[in-house]
Amino acid sequence: MNQSFTKLWNITFLVVGPLWALFVWMVWTSGQLKTPQHEIMFFSVVVPGFILIYLSGFLIAKRHAKKQRSIS
């Protein structure tokens, strides 16, 4: 791998982020969310999910680096 994992992960999320936002907008405007409770539930799953996936990449990188250090 020629570039750092962190740089590649951030580039990936620069592409995925707008696509994720498009998905959220499509669901939001589709009329599927009928009540404020549905809207709150949707955002309480989607936003933390996006953040969790983003942060998990750094956890994976940290675990991989630790594993590589223990091998060498």
Residues 27 and 42 sit within 8 Å (Cβ to Cβ) = yes
Q: Higher-confidence residue: 14 or 3?
A: 14
Confidence of residue 22 (pLDDT cuts 50, 70, 90): very high
**51 pLDDT exceeds 80?**
yes
Q: Give yes or no for residue 57 having a pLDDT over 70.
A: yes
CA angle 3, 63, 55 (to 5 degrees): 75
**How much is the average pLDDT of 35-41?**
95
Of 6 and 43, the structure prediction assigns the larger pLDDT to: 43
Task: Read off the pLDDT of each residue in 29-35 and give the average, rounded to a whole number.
Answer: 93
* pTM score above 0.95: no
Helix (H, G, I), strand (E, B) or coil at 67: helix
